[in-house]
């Protein structure tokens, strides 16, 4: 074969987009654990710190959440003791440096914590996810030195935050937002409204996206930090949701909210980039939430069918059932690997947007499918509110909607795949 034909063949066999799974810096401990062969460790290999965080989150979920989950769901209200315990157990500042009161760990550790908490209560897991993957990251990456000093410690130890982007006419089309910011002296005046704002009922800090230069379109969108006690801020109606009911979702109204110049997060007009960068990472966190939800529903149902007997034997021993739960287990593991891979890519500084979209899409579909099957496996009792299977099923539905609908994920994947063939 000629050198030119060999080069062409090599290009054709190369993974499209040039993606290779390389060893992430955060996995050094795992590399040592898996030997010195020079091969990268499995995606599921964790560092000692990551294992510690996973186990700590799992213990927290079983001891603190499990006894309260059903009551919080029925009340549609987060137990104040749960929020306090999230802070006390270090779960709200996983990537916050230790000197600021956080755990000083990495992005994968945060995803592991979200997954473990979601196995018991996905509604609490989303609180943890938003705090770590959106709010903390926003200040770590885009905050000034003064902002990081003022807010990271609070986010890690006692203050819940909200990410305020969505509006009545600005959902998937996030850049169509109508909230405005105008200068007045040395301050900014923010006016408008937001909807579907998670954590708003309990939040003490809000990152608000407003257009400071409407004539520039989305290039005028800017992020601002706002305290809850701002006189013009009103937390409005709390939504009565189908699932993740413990997590509050509210409307916000801004009536001439005055904030100082120092409240600007990032640069003027950088808000659209900030929001998209954060949401791309946040999708991995939602993927972790959905994987945890699917695993939690699966474990719940398997424990039941392994003890429930029909025709003199456990339901789980029938081959027809085994085929179903074998396939479900395979789908959960496939979704988990997508999430872990996206997390490692992000953590190691390589492109991850396509992988994040795939992880979020697949995991949300798996969560919906598996939680539905779990109700079938339980039979009639699965259809009652006395058993947790129906809660997992209701909680799963949000996965295909928030932080980018399934169609948005498909559009993202399709666009990046198409572009990769132009570069091939």
Enumerate the active-site residues.
403
The answer for 400, left when phi > 0, alpha when psi is -120 to 50, beta otherwise, is: alpha
Closest C-alpha to 137, from 342, 285, 261: 285
List, in order, residues 6 or more apart from 128 with CB less than 8 Å away: 86, 91, 92, 113, 114, 117
DSSP annotation of 41? P
- Do 131 and 78 contact (CB within 8 A), yes or no? no
Q: Would you tell me the crossing angle of helices 122-129 and 107-118 to the nearest 10 degrees?
A: 160
- Do 411 and 362 contact (CB within 8 A), yes or no? no
Beta bridge partners of 224: 208, 264
Consecutive H or E run containing 280: helix 271-305
**CA–CA separation, 126 and 133 (whole Å):** 10
């Amino acid at each position: 074969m000629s050198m030119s034909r060999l080069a062409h063949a090599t290009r054709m066999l190369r993974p499209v987009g040039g993606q290779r799974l390389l060893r992430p810096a955060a996995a050094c401990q795992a590399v040592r654990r898996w030997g010195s062969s020079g091969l990268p460790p499995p995606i599921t290999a964790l560092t000692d710190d990551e294992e510690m965080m996973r186990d700590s989150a799992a213990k927290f979920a079983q001891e603190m959440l499990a006894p309260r989950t059903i009551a919080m769901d029925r009340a549609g209200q987060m137990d104040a003791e749960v929020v306090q315990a999230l802070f006390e157990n270090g779960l709200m500042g996983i990537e916050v440096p230790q000197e600021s009161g956080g755990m000083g760990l990495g992005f994968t550790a945060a995803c592991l914590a979200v997954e473990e908490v979601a196995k018991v209560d996905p509604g609490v897991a989303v609180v943890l996810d938003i705090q770590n993957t959106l709010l903390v990251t926003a200040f770590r990456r885009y905050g000034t030195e003064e902002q990081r000093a003022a807010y990271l410690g609070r986010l890690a130890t006692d203050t819940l935050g909200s990410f305020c982007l969505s509006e009545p006419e600005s959902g998937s089309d996030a850049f169509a937002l109508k909230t405005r910011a105008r200068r007045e002296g040395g301050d900014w005046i923010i006016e408008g409204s937001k909807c579907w704002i998670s954590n708003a009922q309990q939040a003490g800090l809000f990152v608000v996206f407003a257009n400071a230069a409407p004539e520039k379109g989305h290039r005028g969108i800017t992020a601002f930090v706002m305290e809850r006690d701002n006189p013009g801020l009103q937390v409005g109606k709390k939504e009565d949701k189908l699932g993740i009911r413990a997590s509050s979702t509210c409307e916000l109204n801004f009536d001439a909210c005055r904030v100082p110049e120092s409240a600007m997060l990032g640069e003027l007009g950088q808000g659209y980039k900030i929001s998209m960068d954060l949401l791309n990472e946040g999708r991995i966190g939602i993927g972790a939430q959905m994987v945890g939800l699917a695993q939690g529903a699966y474990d719940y149902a398997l424990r039941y069918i392994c003890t429930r007997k029909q025709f003199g034997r456990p339901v789980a021993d029938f081959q027809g059932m085994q085929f179903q739960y074998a396939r479900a287990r395979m789908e959960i593991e496939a979704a988990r690997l997508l999430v872990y891979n996206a997390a490692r890519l992000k953590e190691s500084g390589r492109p991850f947007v396509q992988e994040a979209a795939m992880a979020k899409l697949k995991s949300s579909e798996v969560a919906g499918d598996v939680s539905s099957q779990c109700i079938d496996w339980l039979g009639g009792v699965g259809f009652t509110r006395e058993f947790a299977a129906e809660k997992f099923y209701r909680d799963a539905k949000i996965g295909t909607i928030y932080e980018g609908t399934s169609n948005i994920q498909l559009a993202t994947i399709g666009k990046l795949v198409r572009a990769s063939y132009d570069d091939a």
